[in-house]
Structures are given as structure tokens and as C-alpha cells.
Amino acid sequence: MKIWARIAIEWKLRDEQNRAGVFNMHMDLKRIKQGFIRLIRIYPLIAIGLLIIAYLLGGFSEQSNPLVPRTIVLGMLYGLIIVVPLLAILIFVGFSVSEDRSRNRNLKSLENLPAEDPFDLAQEEMCGFKIVSLTGELPIFTGVTGDTYKNDENAICKEFPDHVPPVIGCECGFYAFKNRRDAQFELSIHPGLFLIDVDLFGIGFSHKYGYRAESQRVNSLEFPKRCMRCKVLPARVFIKSYKIGYGNNVWWHWSVRCSLCVKGVKPENRLTIEQMSQKLNVEIN
């Protein structure tokens, strides 16, 4: 049975949200950025489609009167190669500026937050999603920040060990997305990671996209459909391999592979889905 937790009141920026940022209207910048990145991913297909249409209409032929004049084709090529990438860069710069302003507004909001707000008695069940990697010779969950944890743990603040996370003005605590779609989008830009379903307990903060809480229990890990090496065939087993980071730092990293890509991997460096489920003590779907 899931436990109900006391959630801190949502941090709302009220009037400041309307005064700052790139957009005058109240718009969801995170959703817009996600949509724009998805559009960028299919941009090559759009460009190829336009070029094929221009070719079929005679834009690349030597005819005197083609259906599509060569000047239009050349203009389209310049646009696809130069103008569109420059616009994309400017838009990403705009996103970065807006996110910096939003982060600064959030910090100011935290400084001005009334003392009674974090102890508002609003009741909410904290269930969420997050992305993790599996590291270590014996597999263990590793967050995107590099912190490791087991399937059921309490958060510990490394910077200020005296306080119990989460604390206003500090970034400690377990984080999770409320919406599965947000976690899946983060997974799409971090290949090689896994999606997990979690419950958060204890005192926690709720914000627009997720939670930050005192303790966490991992309910399940989603097994990727495709091999993380060839990206084509269905994944079958977990394998571990060496990874080298900054300063020649070496660690074990777990991934999933298909029956073809797993050939050559030593048996002691493999785990079946059932074996990994037992090691992590969580369900693997």
C-alpha cells in the first residue's frame, strides 16, 4: 500500500511570470522546447521530401521552362542549409536565456517564500518517473547527477549532512517527474539510460513537473525494446562493460543487447532479465 505524504505547497511565480521571459503570454516553455526538439529530429526527412518534390517538378533539370524555376530551388537549398540551422541556433539560445531567467526567478521566490508555506498540509500521493543508469560490478541505480542508490533509500545531503532532505534553498532530495511523457522525453536525449517508476515518501516539495522528496522506493524498471548497440534488434540480456570518464576514471556500465550483439561477451559479464530483477530487487517490465 502506498503511503500518503505531506507535500509542500507548489511554488508559483504569480506576477513575475508575466513580467519576464521571452514570451509575453503565459506559455509552457518546457513543452515548447520538447516540441521544437522533436521537430528538429524530423527536419532531415522534411528537407529530403522537399528536394524530392523539387526534383520531380523539374527544378534540377536543364529544361527552359521547368515547373519549379531553378532560382526557387537554389533559394530553397540556401534556406535548408544556412537559414534554417541559423534560426534553430537562435531559438536554442532563446530557450537558454529564458531558462536562466526562470531559474533566477525561482531562486528569488525561494528566498521570499513565507516560513509557513513548506508545511502546508495539502495531501498528495507522490508517484513519478525518472531516468537512471545501471553501474557497478554489482548493478546499482545511478542518477543523472552520478549519485547511486538502492531500490529503497532515504536521501542524504552530501553538502550539508546535518539537515534532512529536502530543504528549501538546497538541491538535495530525490527527484521524479509527475508525467511519464516528460521522463520518456529525457530518456530520448540520454541514450543508454533506463526508465524507472518510483514512489516518494516523507516531506516533499511539489512543483509543476515533478517532486523532490525525503525518501524513494523504486517499483519497476522498464526494459528497453531495442538493443542499445545496434538499435535495431530486440534486446534480450543485460551486459556490463568498462567505461572511461574524466581523469581516466573507470567504472562498470550496464546496457542491454540483442542475441547477435551479445556474442563475444563473457558469460560472467551477462545477466538475464530475471537475474537483473533479483540483483536490483525490483520488477522489470
> Helix or strand or coil: residue 136?
coil
2 within some domain? no
24 within some domain? yes
285 within some domain? no
The mean per-residue pLDDT over the stretch 130-157 comes to 94
**pLDDT, tens only, 228-261:** 999 999 999 999 998 876 666 778 999 999 999 9
Cell triple for residue 120? 502546508
Instruction: Report yes or no: 101 and 20 within 8 Å, Cβ to Cβ.
Output: yes
Please state which of the ranges 11-15, 78-82, 166-170 shows the lowest mean pLDDT.
11-15
267 within some domain? no
Is residue 74 over pLDDT 90? no
What pLDDT is stored for residue 233 in this prediction?
96
185 within some domain? no
Domain extent at residue 90 = 16-111
Is residue 8 over pLDDT 90? no
What pLDDT is stored for residue 18 in this prediction?
40
**C-alpha distance from residue 211 to each of 5, 147, 156 (Å):** 11, 17, 16
101 within some domain? yes
122 within some domain? no
pTM score, two decimals?
0.68
44 within some domain? yes
What pLDDT is stored for residue 107 in this prediction?
56
Domain count of the fold of the chain: 1
